[in-house]
Amino acid sequence: MSHRDQIHLLQGRPLRLRLCRSPRARNLRLTVSRRGGAVVTLPRWATRRDVDQALSEAQDWLVRQVTLYDVWDGPRQRSWTSGSEVALLGRRVRLELRPLTDGRQRRRATLTGDVLRLDLPIDEFLDPRPALERWLRAFAGRHLRERTQILGRQLGLQPRRILVGERTTRWGSCSGRGTISYCYRLVMAPPAVVDAVVIHELCHLVHPDHGPGWRAMVEAACPEHTQHMAWLRHHGEELEL
């Protein structure tokens, strides 16, 4: 996927807009988030005229969204310091930053109760985000693989492969080859929501679509699946670094 940024005048105010051309996109899609800013995803056939028309038709909605997320100038990123809180399985964990001493250079992360301690080189104190992200990705890899295996055994289903990484549009997916992929930031959600996504994807091993068979299987395994997915829709923007 290729992308480029441009400035677009929206109701008299400049907006930083990211244009992403994707060979897999079937339709032009406009999204706004705090993490990604305002993004237009373009299929191969889309032209500049198509972009202008889409922005014109959606301008009232677009103004509301970029104002809500405060992304007129592009994506917003949080600043992380000692005392900042990060969500982990639905609870708040306080970040504690400490400098490495005695010439040590190896970073270290320790979770004790509701405190996540990061021992970092002094030059990483101004931006501990990369270290925090590495730790969260590793935690997510362990937790999501474990929950997939446990819930998979209960359902009599196991994927051929489990991948955990960054995803911008979906919290999980299941390929036709039996690979289940997750967004690592999913572990910031409450445990029941995490399990609902795991069950959602496991059931796709049997039913690749969202038809009646899949719905019946999901509801039998997770009666509150609909409520958990609604929670993700309403709070997904909060699950970010």
Q: Are the C-beta atoms of residues 66 and 72 closer than 8 Å to each other?
A: yes
Higher per-residue pLDDT: 218 or 47: 218
pLDDT at res. 134: 93
pTM for this entry: 0.75
pLDDT at res. 62: 92
Q: Residue 189 class from Cβ within 10 Å (0-12 exposed, 13-18 middle, 19+ buried)?
A: buried
Confidence of residue 211 (pLDDT cuts 50, 70, 90): very high
Give the phi and the psi of residue 8 in degrees, each rounded to 5: -120, 135
Residue 80: which of 98, 97, 100 has the closest Cα?
97
Find all residues with CB under 8 Å of 135, minimum gap 6, and list them: 109, 116, 118
pLDDT at res. 108: 86
**pLDDT digits over 72-122, tens only?**
888 877 778 889 999 999 999 999 998 887 666 678 899 999 999 999 887
Distance CA 38, CA 13 (A): 14
pLDDT at res. 81: 86
Q: What is the mean pLDDT of the chain?
A: 89
As a whole number, mean pLDDT of residues 172-194 equals 95
Give the phi and the psi of residue 193 in degrees, each rounded to 5: -70, -40
Whether 1 shows a pLDDT value over 60: the answer reads: no
Whether 168 shows a pLDDT value over 70: the answer reads: no
**pLDDT digits over 19-44, tens only?**
888 887 888 888 888 778 899 888 88
Q: Are the C-beta atoms of residues 75 and 101 closer than 8 Å to each other?
A: no
Higher per-residue pLDDT: 11 or 184: 184
Bridge-based pairing state of the strands 108-112 and 161-165: unpaired
> Could you tell me what percent of the chain has a pLDDT over 90?
51
Q: Are the C-beta atoms of residues 3 and 21 closer than 8 Å to each other?
A: yes
* Residues forming CATH 3.30.2010.10 domain(s) in the chain: 134-238
Strand segments (E) across the chain: 2-10, 13-21, 29-33, 37-42, 85-88, 91-99, 108-112, 115-120, 161-165, 172-174, 179-183
Q: How far are the Cα atoms of 90, 121, 159 from residue 86, in angstroms, in the given order?
A: 10, 21, 30
Residue 206: which of 234, 178, 241 has the closest Cα?
178
CATH of domain 134-238: 3.30.2010.10
Nearest-Å Rg of the Cα atoms of the chain is 20
Confidence of residue 191 (pLDDT cuts 50, 70, 90): very high
pLDDT at res. 69: 83
User: DSSP characters for 49-71?
Assistant: HHHHHHHHHTHHHHHHHHHHHT-
Structure tokens at 3: 């992308």
